Amino acid sequence: MKPYYQSTRKNADPISAKEAVLQGISPDGGLFVWPGLGQEKLNLNKLIQLDYKGIAKEVFTALLSGYTSEELDDCIENAYTGSFESDEITPVKDVDGIYILELFRGPTSAFKDVALTILPWFLSKALNDTGKKALILTATSGDTGKAAMSGFEDVDNTGICVFYPHNKVSAVQYKQMATQSGGNVKVFAVEGNFDDAQSMVKKLFLDEDLKEKLARDDIVLSSANSINIGRLIPQIVYYFDAYRQLVNKGVIQTGEKVSFSVPTGNFGDVLAGYYAMQLGLPVEKFYVASNANNVLTEFLACGTYNRNRPFIQTISPSMDILISSNLERLLYYASNKDTEKVAGW
């Protein structure tokens, strides 16, 4: 079955992945999901024979409807040739019997590089079909901003605006963003915390006046946050690739289950793992690791999501998040795709 995408909040208007990449977020405020996820599995035995790019091609072919095979090859080559420290892209290292997936070997040293090196290419292919230009709006708690600006720097027909919470990103992150080159990048400090910045960006996406104004210049709004499926789907790849490396190292047998512990903020990374599991990756458990802003720990332990709590500034600002956007996608699947329920929540 060809994957199609719908809002988590309404059972209507199926669109291709390509269209969903362009739109970023559904007009009703929901996130794009594929209702059929999990009905078909990827061939694990085949995947573990491939390299990173090969696995990427399999995952993208299964999920990214609307793109031709050549377009996907092009995106993968542009993103993952020469931009990371080595062709391994995301090496797994043995640290005293604990296996660490090193996601920080990309151009800006943020794990977000894995997805943000390829999203601009997905978007630029989608734009080619429409003759339009895209303005990317992105909220960042620190890492996304630099990785996104770096990924979009001077990519044709795109521009990017990044919003970060004033005085709430690290000194290095501030300098990384403030010194970004490119004629199509802009960065703004916002009074408030990350959640304020993200809420504001979400509001801009739903602003009909702004949309109309931009439409006159053939500009569409899109997002580089992990609410965009073009950000989420590339992250599925490294779960399979990590598994392949463990098999190759002789740590596990093919088919054996593994667990992942995932530092979590906006719930994109760990959700990509959940998607990988739905696509057939043998997983025992995902550990959703929080810092002092442990709204997700509480939710998963007690079933209550209480964002009305003090926002604690920590040394891991990328996890200082109280409104964990991608959780909505998990709720969609966990509620057996009950869009009414999700919209209500």
Ligand X SMILES: *Cc1c(COP(=O)(O)O)cnc(C)c1O
Annotated active-site positions, please? Answer: 112
Both tokens of residue 141?
Answer: 């708690």
Which amino acid, residue 94? D
The nearer residue to ligand X, 127 or 149, going by C-beta atoms, is: 149
The nearer residue to ligand X, 4 or 174, going by C-beta atoms, is: 174
- Tell me the CA distances in angstroms from 146 to 117, 142, 199, 205, 326, one per residue in order: 11, 8, 20, 21, 21
Among 71, 269, 320, 328, indicate the residue that binds ligand X (CB under 6 A): 269
264 binds ligand X (CB under 6 A): yes
Residue 170 CB, nearest distance to ligand X (Å)?
Answer: 11
Asked whether 92 and 100 are in contact (CB, 8 A), the reply is yes
226 binds ligand X (CB under 6 A): yes
238 binds ligand X (CB under 6 A): no
- Tell me the CA distances in angstroms from 63 to 7, 135, 234, one per residue in order: 16, 24, 10
268 binds ligand X (CB under 6 A): yes
Name the one range near ligand X by CB under 6 A: 48-56, 110-118, 174-182, 187-195: 110-118
Site string for ligand X, 129-148 (x = CB under 6 A): --------------x-----
**Sign, CA torsion 230/234/235/236:** positive
> How many other CB atoms are there within 10 angstroms of residue 217's CB atom?
9
Three-state DSSP class for 119? helix
Residue appearing with tokens 């696995």: 55
107 binds ligand X (CB under 6 A): no
37 binds ligand X (CB under 6 A): no
Q: Which of 187, 168, 165 is nearest to 176 (CA)?
A: 187
111 binds ligand X (CB under 6 A): yes
Residue 263 CB, nearest distance to ligand X (Å)?
Answer: 4
Residue 278 CB, nearest distance to ligand X (Å)?
Answer: 17
266 binds ligand X (CB under 6 A): yes
Both tokens of residue 306?
Answer: 């209480």
Residues from 244 through 263 that contact ligand X (CB under 6 A): 263
Residues from 80 through 99 that contact ligand X (CB under 6 A): none
168 binds ligand X (CB under 6 A): no
8-state DSSP, 15: B
* Pairing relationship of beta strands 283-289 and 258-263 according to DSSP bridges: parallel
Contact residues toward ligand X (CB under 6 A) are 110-112, 143, 226, 263-269, 318-319
